Amino acid sequence: MIPIRRFERILALSAAFALAVGCFVVLRPFLSPMLWSLILCFSTWPVYVRCLKACGGRRTVAALILTAVLALFAVLPFAMVGPRLAEEATIVATVITKMLEEGPPGPPAWIADLPLIGSGLSAYWTGLAENGGAATAQLKQYVWPWRNWLISAGVTLGQGVLQLCLSLMISFFIYRDGEALSQRLSVATTRFLGERARTLIDLTGATSRSVVYGVLGTALALGVLAAVAFAIAGIPGAMILGLATFFVSLIPMGPGLVWLPPAGWLMWQGEVGWGIFVLLYGLVVVSVVDGFLKPYFISRGGQLPFMLVFLGVLGGIAAFGFIGVFLGPVLLAIGFSLAKEWSLPREIEPPVAD
């Protein structure tokens, strides 16, 4: 026969387990936004502290201001792209179809005046213009399926924007009540990890900040700047190209894959001045933001392998949807940094003399 006290303990543990399972089932649809809000608040906590001082210690006001700023820079660009994605996808598909039907135009007059390569390049371009339409006509069958895929991606993007909005709403409460939560987190990690808890918490903060600022922040900035440049130059589908710039900016030297074709297309259409503008704009933006700011922020959190970030983006999208673009690289980077720190040999303290 089971003793009464032991039976009560088993019953209490069973009830606690059932309660934990019930809480998990209820919160499971919101785990991704909750996790991203925790990472975002943890990464931007120094900014919140400065904002709190500027607001005279009023936590609600400081939390509201910082949440609004994050919504402006991290959510508004995607919210603007989503509704127009279908419209711009149709415009881009129409332009590409027309280009494939007509073939490339003849070479500009200044091509033949180029030294050494001018005459040969002009002749090759003329031949391509005369026979290019027939050679590229078979590519038209791939244009509209691509457009349909892009529209379905817009639906996924809209769902991701809703998750980002939910994560910002959660972030507001974490900012407002974050001091008490951080104290409890520090106590809990110290109990489990001992003296290394503070070091690991600091490492987690530095790593998450380097990825959020250096990888995701610079990619978002490049995407917005690219969309503005494409819109100024009158390129169809400027927002689509800006969104593409955001994604390819997550890999080294990726933005050039997006802004070089539009620059060439403008020159192809005879808009040489606008083509040079886009080309120079891309070179300047990439060299400043991608070449200096990104390495600066990433280096502050330690050296992160490129493949880690790349797999984090792909795996994050597969696991969490659009919000996984933000979650995946941060989680893998934090796990990599903690594993590297944990595997370092610990100094053996000398024995205390009697």
Q: Tell me if 210 sits within 8 A of 334, measured CB to CB.
A: no
User: Looking at the chain, how many residues does it have?
Assistant: 354
Q: Tell me if 227 sits within 8 A of 241, measured CB to CB.
A: yes
Look up tokens 């990690």; give the residue: 189
Within a domain: residue 12?
no
By C-alpha distance, which of 237, 216, 238, 218 is closest to 227? 238
Q: Tell me if 107 sits within 8 A of 121, measured CB to CB.
A: yes
Within a domain: residue 301?
yes
Contacts 24+ apart (CB under 8 A), 244-251: 246/219, 246/220, 246/222, 247/219, 247/313, 247/325, 249/218, 249/219, 249/222, 249/223, 249/290, 250/215, 250/216, 250/219, 250/309, 250/310, 250/313, 250/325, 250/329, 251/306, 251/309, 251/310
Q: For every one of its 354 residues, what pLDDT tens digit does the chain have, with 9 covering 90 and above?
A: 556 677 778 888 888 888 888 888 888 888 888 888 888 888 888 888 899 899 888 888 999 999 999 888 888 888 877 767 666 666 666 766 666 666 566 666 667 777 777 777 777 767 666 665 555 555 555 555 666 666 676 677 777 888 888 989 998 988 888 777 777 766 766 666 666 666 777 777 777 877 788 778 888 888 888 888 888 888 887 888 888 888 888 776 777 788 888 887 787 777 878 888 888 888 887 767 777 777 666 666 556 677 777 788 788 888 887 788 888 888 888 788 777 777 766 554 444 444
Within a domain: residue 269?
yes
Q: What is the pLDDT of residue 68?
A: 92
Q: How far is CA 197 from the centre of its chain?
A: 29
Pairwise CA distance, residues 225 & 220, whole Å = 9
Contacts of 336 (CB under 8 A, 6+ apart): 304, 305, 308
Within a domain: residue 3?
no
Within a domain: residue 21?
no
Pairwise CA distance, residues 71 & 37, whole Å = 12
Please provide the DSSP assignment of 86-108 as one string. HHHHHHHHHHHHHHHHH-PPPPP
Contacts of 344 (CB under 8 A, 6+ apart): none
DSSP 1: -
The 10 Å Cβ neighbour count of residue 280 is: 12
What are the distances in angstroms from CA 198 to CA 43, 203, 211, 286, 298?
16, 9, 20, 37, 21
Pairwise CA distance, residues 54 & 213, whole Å = 22
Amino acid making up residue 325: V
By C-alpha distance, which of 241, 220, 229 is closest to 280? 229
**Number of domains into which the chain is organized:** 1
Within a domain: residue 20?
no
Q: Which helix (H) or strand (E) holds 308?
A: helix 306-320
Pairwise CA distance, residues 248 & 227, whole Å = 14
The range of the structural domain enclosing residue 318 comes to 31-342
